[in-house]
Structure 1
């Protein structure tokens, strides 16, 4: 291990791992060896092997939770747990779309403390980091809500209609969350089912950018739980949070 890697901060490490994993995934995709379905599986497994081996090498004293790795309950007794999604948006990756991501995050005592989200499909690739927040673009007059491109949640559609917001279909959870930071959307509301690895790194990055992040009932997002199912979340500009949460409650009552 190089001295530079040994001296990396947790935030630098998260960003480095996300970027390298993203580059690996691009190389696998550009090999031309796989069909769309096989490409998704090959990418997931290849990126997972890199991330898990790297984290065990450089942060072996920490816990680890990965979508593509058998869970180890020992993490529950640990304060520091890395939570990774090697390919968030496997379908989009396999279809050679741009809206997929790599998530590398560190939860400390259950809190989304450090995160990096790589978006290798964007021109030139980019990595958004919790330790390097960017200035948010100005919000437009007509709000935009990013939703699943294949199965937008009924709650999100109903809230968007009440707000008069435009729906922006997109693939991975990480791409959707980062769209709010990049000025492509203003609200990300999801209620269709997710797991800790889908949101932990994106939430850490979003919080660092001053965005509101919570469950759709307004309760906090807590990580490194025995049950890693974390089905819903809201990420939006803080000035919209109270109105969106109130509308979610109204929609739930009417259902």
Structure 2
């Protein structure tokens, strides 16, 4: 099994497990989210350790082994991206399985199980044509970043509220939005797999100042992100630079 096939298979299996947990009677709210995080993390780590025993893993739900910083290959995973949405019954949550090689997001898979979808670098979806109604910027449902609102105003864009980071990024890849712009705090596991999938599908993915996304850093904080159609990347970056 190739790395890309492995990422896809694990994302799908973890998503199926999370759907099964969701159907268990008596589990709601924080307890449901906690069990989903814990059990999906265990499954993912077990599968990766078995299939790629020499690779390191950085997971949101595990203690960080800083020895990974000297490694060439590091799997960067979020077993349940959007725990709140998952616990609340929303379909806007995801499973992230990404692989960084020499700090670059080379491949990955993002499963959106409640929508029965998986997006992966080995078979990215075709690029959809631009929306004739104008730019659509996907933002957090609970708190849209000020920068996204400012850029949206400057570009005359429509803001589309949505849940987890993976769900928002895949909305762009799927063609339901054109821009995902985030500022205000993310970690490598929030965006490694989504960035890998977006790049494989031909989209732009970078920091909000245009710098490349770098992974497997000692501090896994990666606070800002831009994923968008390549033809609008310059416009969006210019609008961001205006402050």
- Which 4+ residue blocks in structure 1 deviate beyond 4 angstroms? none
Q: Distance in 1 between matches of 2:232 and 2:128?
A: 15
Which residue of 182, 186, 197 corresponds with 1:194? 186
Match of residue 110 from structure 1:
103
Match of residue 164 from structure 1:
156
Match of residue 133 from structure 1:
124
TM-score of the pair, normalised by structure 2: 0.98
The CA RMSD measured in Å over matched residues stands at: 0.7
Match of residue 82 from structure 1:
75
Deviates more, 1:132-141 or 1:232-241: 132-141
Match of residue 249 from structure 1:
241
SS at match of 1:137: coil
Q: Distance in 2 between matches of 1:18 and 1:96?
A: 20
Match of residue 61 from structure 1:
54
Q: Distance in 2 between matches of 1:19 and 1:45?
A: 17
Q: Distance in 2 between matches of 1:134 and 1:51?
A: 24
SS at match of 1:13: helix
Give the Å deviation of 1:117.
0.2
Give the Å deviation of 1:35.
1.6
Q: Distance in 2 between matches of 1:60 and 1:71?
A: 17
Match of residue 5 from structure 1:
none
Give the Å deviation of 1:118.
0.2
SS at match of 2:222: coil
Which residue of 89, 94, 109 corresponds with 2:87? 94
Q: Distance in 2 between matches of 1:33 and 1:81?
A: 37
Match of residue 45 from structure 1:
38
Q: Distance in 2 between matches of 1:87 and 1:137?
A: 27
Residues 1:227 and 2:219 aligned together = yes
Q: Deviations over 1:126-147 (max 9, x none)?
A: 1101111221211112110000
Match of residue 3 from structure 1:
none
Give the Å deviation of 1:209.
0.6
Q: How many residues align?
A: 242
Which structure 1 segments of 5+ residues have no match?
1-7
Residues 1:34 and 2:34 aligned together = no
TM-score of the pair, normalised by structure 1: 0.94
Q: Distance in 2 between matches of 1:237 and 1:95?
A: 31
Residues 1:154 and 2:146 aligned together = yes
